[in-house]
Structure 1
Amino acid sequence: MAIRVHRFLPSRLPPPTNTQLTWIRGLWFVALALAVVLDIAGTVFVLRDTYRNDPQFHRLSLTSQVENDGSITVESIPGNTGVPVVPAMSRITAIDGKPVAQDTPVWDLAARLKGKDGQVVALTLASPEGQSATHRIEVSPRYAAGKDASQVISRDQRMTARMFISLLTCMTLIGCAVLLFLRRPQDPVALLFSFSFLLFAGSIDPPLNLWLATGMGNAFDVYTTLAWALLVIGIAAFPDGRFTPRVVRWILVIAPLLMVPLAIDEIPTWINVAIAFILPLFLLICHVIKYRRFQPGIERQQVKWAAFGFASGLLSLTLAFVLVDVLEQSPINGLIVIVFFNLGFLAMAIGLLISLLRFRLWEADRVISRSAISAVVTLAVGIVWTLSMDFLKLGAEWVLGRESETAATLAGAILAAGIFAPTQALAMRWAKKRLAGDESRIQKLVGRLHVWRTTEMPEEIGVRTLSALSAAVHCSGAALLVDGPRGPQLLAARDIEQADELGRPSYDPVADPRFPLTLPLEDEDGPIGQLLIGPRSDFNRYNAAQLDGLKAMTEPLAETLRASLKRAQQAESINLQMGSVEERLARLEQSGPRLSPT
């Protein structure tokens, strides 16, 4: 039985056949159309709900919340006086004596609550404990006015920020899904992520509210858990479709089974959160093993970008869920949670897209190091600011003779600003020294050239230079030509097929598509050759720092080659003269008088 299960679980996801790709393409277009329709419909619903439905509740000093089953719960707007206090999770059971069904949609309930200013509405409310009470509340815009006046950011500004970040996330997920499907249709990992992103694009904000308001909470749970399962299977098989280590292949069985508790609302939230985040985190840790098994090159950089995106995304999503329990319910806090939630999906989608499409893979080290340093510095400053607030309040009370919240907050902001900027600058300078970039590697090469010019032969300098350039700018191939009596001659080549062609008299490097960069080698004495650079190994353009570094090292390389070639010619001339002298001595010994042995 164990052997059958072992054979049943593949060690690698096979690419789809042409027949399979036909129906996969049909399913993908359905998922794409559904995501687009849900995003558009969700956006329309959120705007109508904010500007048409919510005001009807606010005019009665209430705020509404759509539950997973589509029912509506209400509570009082905090801070309003002269109105009854309605506890959270209460339900409206009757309006002016007319019963209200629990499954009444929010738009119908808002229409029934609509009244003229000054009109008194009798609301029968059932508390979470089951107690029922009838309250007579006057319809008035002053409740909402007081609510908006207490907010730092107005309703329109909050809605603009929310729609911008939410729609940006949805469009990014859809865009990534489309690019993955078009660029890598035969890659099973890319297909898994493409489907997952489309499903998530149709289930996060703003479509999320539409799912709940229409009473399709159960379908929403299945929809999102399917997206989660596809995501974790894709993470397990990333980037080449292989499950490494071999135990990871069991994710093909575990992920569908874990969809069941994730889709059940009665399961405690902490269990669902643990399942949703711990399993992807475990898979990311497993990628450390896969990373070490890869040789330095493209595969390692792909793992770096993907791990950076997923780690950042999971951290942001975890922070969003933590803030839901920590922060008080308010519009501005809700906006903060939405921002972190969407940033999590943005980070995962962008990191994975860069990895699979191999876009700027070699910039991963610099981006990851700077992001990590900025995060650590920001966290440290936040901790210092939090710890200092109590001391600042005591200081303000001692100086002003009373507690001054404004003075303490202002002093804390000044302290945080004074610490953040210089600390971040110091950290970035330290990182620049410790985490050398392409510019630093080329500068080290220039320093070594001055040593090699007096110790190494031209061929050895060429080989070492091309090896150093390959590590510095990640070129897929390179060659070094020097001017000779009969034209350019090949001095050294690295990872170039049919390199002998480069030494032909008729060879034109500018017309060779294998070398997008042709750099002349010239010093004060004139030109001496050419440095031919192939495309980057991730097939992206060289960045500005790499181009500047390459141009800056051409003159030192030309000087080194000229000095080494001259020294090699002198050594060759001396060797020829020594050979000639030895040949003459040998002739003299053969033709000279011979002594008798007796």
Structure 2
Amino acid sequence: MVGRFLGGMAITLIALGITTSLLRYRLYDADRAISRSVAFGALTLALLAVFAGSEKIIEVLGEEYFGESLGALAGGIGAAIAAVMIAPLHHRVTHWAEHRFQGALIKLRTGLPLLVGDMRETATPTHLAEVLLDRVESGVRASRGAIVIDSKVAAAKGIAVDAVQEWLGAWVVSSQVSALDCDRTDTLFPLRAPLYADGVGMVGWLLLGGRPDGSFYGKDERVTIATISEPTARALAIALQRAAREAARAEEIGALRGEIGDLRAIVARLGSHRRAGFRPAAEGA
């Protein structure tokens, strides 16, 4: 019993030491792998605690009510209780680990579709593109980024617009517009996400530079970027359509104002002629 307790304590101290170093020094650039490792370690500790606690309680109850130690039966019941607790503990621990180590990425994946859904009816396409780019860069920790619509830079961060336009002039667009275009040899924009949505078509591209340390995006980051591309494209398309309608309406209003101005000028001239004693020929007859 003492050996088992010391073994459990040793495992607990090792896991706590690793977790403390991760939390203190933020040594989790490989967020996905470390998140799963921490979740596995925490789940193991929790199951050990449940097993040991259940076994001890059952032994105490056995001695209290039956006057003898239940021995192996207590261990079996403790193991059964731990087995029942695996699923709920796994869900809770995994949820905690993901939000602790991949919080920005999860916020991007779940929050961005809601954000663009709210902004697409009121924001201008340029403002929407700037907000989208800011959220994406924060979520995946990109060193630079740009959103391109109709071969024009709608927003850029961490890089000059002229530099993006120059890069676009030399870029050969992938024929598979529905998939991420990844080129790790490209030092400027190694990841290009097509902003495409069913029923809308191709709206533009989300261009992302590598991370500040030069590393490329992991699987979770790429999946998240692919996931948010569709709602982003749809929101930008709606904002562009609304902006086009507003521009056409403003043009019509401008034309009407011009016609009204011409009519006012004609009326003013007629009024001045009347005041000068001018009468049209029909009135003189």
Could you state the TM-score of these two structures normalised by the residue count of structure 2?
0.70
2:218: which partner in 1? Answer: 543
Q: What do residues 308-359 of structure 1 show as CA deviations (whole Å, max 9, x unaligned)?
A: xxxxxxxxxxxxxxxxxx957xxx999x4996599489949x859x86xx76
- Asked if 1:471 is matched to 2:141, the reply is no
**Equivalent in 51, 72, 77 of residue 411 of structure 1:** 77
Letter of the aligned partner of 2:60 in structure 1? D
Letter of the aligned partner of 1:360 in structure 2? D
1:520: which partner in 2? Answer: 194
| Alpha-carbon distance change, 544 to 338 in structure 1, aligned in 2, over 3 angstroms | same
Aligned counterparts, 1:216-295, within 5 A:
none
Residue pair 1:480, 1:490 contacting (<8 A) in 2 also: yes
Q: Shift of the alpha carbon at 1:555?
A: 2.1
Residue pair 2:126, 2:154 contacting (<8 A) in 1 also: yes
Q: Shift of the alpha carbon at 1:507?
A: 2.1
Structure 2, unpaired ranges of 5+: 173-184, 277-285
Aligned counterparts, 1:88-107, within 5 A:
none
Residue pair 2:42, 2:93 contacting (<8 A) in 1 also: yes
2:57: which partner in 1? Answer: 387
Q: Shift of the alpha carbon at 1:417?
A: 3.2
Cα distance in 1 for partners of 2:244, 2:43 equals 54
- Asked if 1:370 is matched to 2:32, the reply is no
Partner secondary structure for residue 549 of structure 1: helix
Aligned counterparts, 1:501-580, within 5 A:
501-503=163-165, 507-509=169-171, 513-524=187-198, 525-580=200-255
Cα distance in 1 for partners of 2:139, 2:59 equals 47
Q: What do residues 126-159 of structure 1 show as CA deviations (whole Å, max 9, x unaligned)?
A: xxxxxxxxxxxxxxxxxxxxxxxxxxxxxxxxxx
2:162: which partner in 1? Answer: 500
Residue pair 1:479, 1:492 contacting (<8 A) in 2 also: yes
**Equivalent in 442, 445, 457 of residue 109 of structure 2:** 442
**Equivalent in 121, 126, 146 of residue 454 of structure 1:** 121
| Alpha-carbon distance change, 505 to 425 in structure 1, aligned in 2, over 3 angstroms | closer
Cα distance in 2 for partners of 1:360, 1:540 equals 10
| Alpha-carbon distance change, 393 to 537 in structure 1, aligned in 2, over 3 angstroms | farther
Partner secondary structure for residue 187 of structure 2: coil
Letter of the aligned partner of 1:391 in structure 2? L
Larger radius of gyration: 1
Cα distance in 2 for partners of 1:430, 1:337 equals 24
Cα distance in 1 for partners of 2:126, 2:225 equals 20
Partner secondary structure for residue 520 of structure 1: strand
Letter of the aligned partner of 1:536 in structure 2? R
Residue pair 2:55, 2:74 contacting (<8 A) in 1 also: no
- Asked if 1:360 is matched to 2:29, the reply is yes
Letter of the aligned partner of 1:424 in structure 2? L
Structure 1, unpaired ranges of 5+: 1-325
| Alpha-carbon distance change, 425 to 460 in structure 1, aligned in 2, over 3 angstroms | same
Q: Shift of the alpha carbon at 1:471?
A: 2.4
Cα distance in 2 for partners of 1:523, 1:340 equals 50
Cα distance in 1 for partners of 2:120, 2:241 equals 10
Residue pair 1:393, 1:405 contacting (<8 A) in 2 also: no
Cα distance in 1 for partners of 2:36, 2:131 equals 28
Cα distance in 1 for partners of 2:94, 2:12 equals 32
| Alpha-carbon distance change, 344 to 472 in structure 1, aligned in 2, over 3 angstroms | closer
| Alpha-carbon distance change, 388 to 404 in structure 1, aligned in 2, over 3 angstroms | closer
Partner secondary structure for residue 169 of structure 2: coil
Partner secondary structure for residue 507 of structure 1: helix
Residue pair 1:359, 1:540 contacting (<8 A) in 2 also: no
Cα distance in 1 for partners of 2:125, 2:222 equals 24
Aligned counterparts, 1:193-232, within 5 A:
none
Cα distance in 2 for partners of 1:429, 1:327 equals 31
Aligned residues: CA RMSD = 4.2
| Alpha-carbon distance change, 379 to 346 in structure 1, aligned in 2, over 3 angstroms | closer
Q: Shift of the alpha carbon at 1:416?
A: 3.5
Query: What number of residue pairs does the alignment pair up?
Result: 255
Letter of the aligned partner of 2:78 in structure 1? G
Cα distance in 2 for partners of 1:410, 1:589 equals 97
| Alpha-carbon distance change, 404 to 386 in structure 1, aligned in 2, over 3 angstroms | closer
Letter of the aligned partner of 2:207 in structure 1? L
| Alpha-carbon distance change, 513 to 412 in structure 1, aligned in 2, over 3 angstroms | closer
| Percentage of pairs with the same residue | 19
Cα distance in 2 for partners of 1:428, 1:526 equals 40
Could you state the TM-score of these two structures normalised by the residue count of structure 1?
0.36
Cα distance in 2 for partners of 1:428, 1:340 equals 17
2:90: which partner in 1? Answer: 425
| Alpha-carbon distance change, 338 to 439 in structure 1, aligned in 2, over 3 angstroms | closer
| Alpha-carbon distance change, 440 to 405 in structure 1, aligned in 2, over 3 angstroms | same
Cα distance in 1 for partners of 2:119, 2:206 equals 18
Cα distance in 2 for partners of 1:342, 1:509 equals 53
Residue pair 2:146, 2:207 contacting (<8 A) in 1 also: yes
Cα distance in 1 for partners of 2:124, 2:115 equals 14
| Alpha-carbon distance change, 568 to 432 in structure 1, aligned in 2, over 3 angstroms | farther
2:153: which partner in 1? Answer: 490
Q: Displaced runs of 4+ in structure 1, greater than 6 A?
A: none
Structure of greater relative contact order (alpha carbons < 8 Å, 6+ residues apart): 2
